[in-house]
Amino acid sequence: MQLGAVLAITLPGEVQSALRTLRSLFDKETLPITLAGLAVFISVWAALISRRSMKASERSATAAEIQARHAASQADAAERQAIAASEQAYSASSEVSTAIQASQISALEGAKARIDASVPRISVMIYQKNDHAGLAENSYALPTPLLSMPTTGPVKLDHWSTEGSEDSTPHWAWDAFFVSHGLLFNFGNEPARVIPHGVQFYAGTHPFTGEEIKEPATTIHGEKILYSGQSALFQVIARKQVDDWVQLIRKKEEEKESCESHLFFFPADFDEPECSVKIRTTGMPLRRSAPEDVYAIFDPRSYFDVHLEFLRNYPDSPEEIAARLKGDKEELFALYMNKQRIKWIREQIANRKPSAGSGDADEGAAVGE
């Protein structure tokens, strides 16, 4: 039975018509045209799909760009928030630091005010300097007070010579010294303890009123007691051995050299607060001369000067204030040693002399600039 007869029997008319059309498209004569049409159709379809894909990609890229901008905006906002938080933290830290510094300053000022209110009220003055420098085999055996010294001319000193010696002491071990005299007066309402260092007290006549002044009372610990309204006379012998003076001359540092004595003042019944006076005597009682066989020449008319420096032992940190209030001597000693170490380091840096290599390097750097 033929296909047409079968289709006519079993299939509806519309389907039979479609099958005939397909048959006519794929017969030998129309197959190339049909295939070409299919190829064109597929190409058009692929182009449409590609265009849709490109549009979809563009939409995706646009969406991604929008998301990237949004993310960047969020990042900028987060950065601004971080900067604001950092500035707030810095401001808070600065405020805390300022508050701490203000509290420390307040504590130090309070401690200084308390010390100023409770230190002994003692005035110190130098009222006389002996006109001539002195030379003695042993200046510690001289009488107190030593108000005047015999006027002599220059004395030639030889290193090992014992000429003029009573105890066979060579000239290099003799003492060359300056003598000055001072006056203390307690103008406070409370007695004060005085601890001398390189200072000798004696009884004598008041240089201004002419009244007789007794030597201050001495405790079993060697401290002097100066009562309210009491005056005291003292003597300072600024001494060095001849050899020490000569070494200074050789170093050409005599203008920087000085002898120091101290007077420390305390309340009568407390160890604090402490104040003191540094008595600084400057001068050079010896000179060198050619010929070389002369060790040194003592010059009795050498000029010297005396300076007074009033000192108060103020705390310089809250830690020191706390240690003082607690009476912690170990902590006070540790703080003192730390300050001395820092002072020593600063002096080493200040006195450091640049080496030749470092000087050349600095010069080269300056030229390079």
Q: pLDDT: is 304 or 326 the higher one?
A: 304
Chain centroid to CA 284: how far? Answer: 35
Burial classification of residue 31, based on how many CB atoms lie within 10 Å of its CB (0-12 exposed, 13-18 middle, 19 or more buried)? exposed
Q: pTM of whole model > 0.85?
A: no
Percent of the residues in the chain that have a pLDDT greater than 90, as a whole number: 34
Give me the DSSP letters along 279-299. Answer: EEEEE--EE--SSTT--EEE-
Mean pLDDT on 263-276: 87
Q: What is the 3-state secondary structure (H, E, C) of 239-276?
A: EEEHHHHHHHHHHCCCCCCEEEEEEEEEECCCCCCCEE
Query: Would you state the structure tokens that stand for residue 364, as one six-digit string?
Result: 């080269």
Q: Which pLDDT band, with edges at 50, 70 and 90, does 362 fall under?
A: very low
Q: Which of 94-98, 346-350, 360-364 has the lowest mean pLDDT?
A: 360-364
pLDDT of residue 255: 52
Element (H, E) at 218: strand 217-218
pLDDT in tens, 84-116: 888 888 888 888 888 888 888 888 888 888 888
pLDDT surpasses 50 at 21? yes
Cβ 277 vs Cβ 311: under 8 Å:
yes
Instruction: Look at 270 and 299; give whichever has higher pLDDT.
Output: 299
Close Cβ partners of 266 (under 8 Å, ≥ 6 residues apart): 120, 192, 193, 195, 272, 273, 274
pLDDT, position 346:
86
What integer is the mean pLDDT of 24-38? 70
- Say if residue 208's pLDDT is above 70: yes
